[in-house]
């Protein structure tokens, strides 16, 4: 049995309440999760969280999601990248809030460009939220391209549309998000 089928099998067993399936699944998906976490962190120049810590926090979130069901491996990884993104954004928000509340002498070390990187993560998250309020599918396509780094065919299959639709959606989403980021900057 190949690794993809085993992962799908473990996901289905875990969805039906088999706790041992989750324990057996983690060693198989740990390295792919680390790769996803490294990609997520590569986009974030402030590096608010180490790769291993991001994987572990993601695992903790997954363990709390007993009712989560995944159709297949792609759906699972799309969900995981969304969880990682939310963890990084929440952490950036907390750091940004601390920076605003900190005394002037405490905030000085953050002025070496690190604070701007936190704002960039928050600006990207805000742009994706604005896009979602306008068109949820465009926001989902952007999220899957930017964070999960899925290919157009994979996104098309996941969302149940054709590949050409994803290409058009990505063009629209990229334009919208770029415009929001330019306004925020």
**If you average pLDDT over every residue of the chain, what do you get?**
76
| 1-22 residue pLDDT tens | 455 556 777 777 776 777 777 6
Give the count of domains, the chain. Answer: 1
- The token duo for 116 is 């701007």
Q: What is the pLDDT of residue 4?
A: 56
Among the listed ranges 54-58, 66-70, 83-87, 179-183, which one has the minimum average pLDDT value?
66-70
| 112-121 residue pLDDT tens | 444 444 447 7
Q: What is the pLDDT of residue 156?
A: 93
pLDDT band of 96, cuts 50, 70, 90 = low
CB pairs under 8 A, 24+ apart, for 7-11? Answer: 7/73, 7/76, 8/72, 8/73, 11/70, 11/72, 11/73, 11/76
Q: Name residues whose C-beta falls within 8 Å of residue 97's C-beta, 6 or more positions apart in sequence.
A: none
d(CA 56, CA 146): 21
Q: What is the pLDDT of residue 159?
A: 92
**Of 49, 66, 27, which Cα lies nearest the Cα of 121?**
49
Q: How far is CA 171 from CA 159, 176, 179, in A?
A: 16, 9, 12
Domain hosting 87: range is 3-184
Q: How far is CA 90 from CA 112, 129, 144, 157, in A?
A: 22, 14, 19, 29
Mean pLDDT for the stretch of residues 36-46: 73
């Amino acid at each position: 049995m190949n690794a993809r089928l085993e992962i799908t099998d473990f996901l289905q067993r875990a969805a039906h309440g088999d706790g041992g399936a989750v324990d057996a699944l983690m060693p198989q998906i740990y390295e792919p999760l680390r790769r996803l976490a490294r990609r997520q962190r590569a986009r974030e120049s402030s590096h608010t969280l180490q790769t291993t810590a991001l994987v572990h926090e993601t695992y903790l979130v997954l363990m709390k999601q007993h009712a989560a069901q995944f159709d297949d491996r792609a759906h699972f990884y799309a969900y995981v990248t969304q969880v990682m993104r939310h963890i990084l954004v929440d952490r950036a928000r907390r750091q940004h809030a601390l920076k605003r509340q900190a005394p002037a002498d405490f905030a000085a070390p953050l002025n070496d460009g690190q604070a701007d990187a936190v704002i960039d993560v928050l600006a990207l998250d805000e742009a994706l939220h604005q896009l979602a309020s306008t068109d949820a599918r465009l926001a989902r396509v952007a999220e899957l391209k930017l964070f999960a780094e899925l290919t157009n065919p994979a996104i098309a299959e996941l969302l149940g549309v054709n590949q050409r639709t994803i290409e058009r959606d990505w063009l629209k989403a990229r334009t919208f998000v770029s415009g929001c980021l330019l306004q925020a900057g």
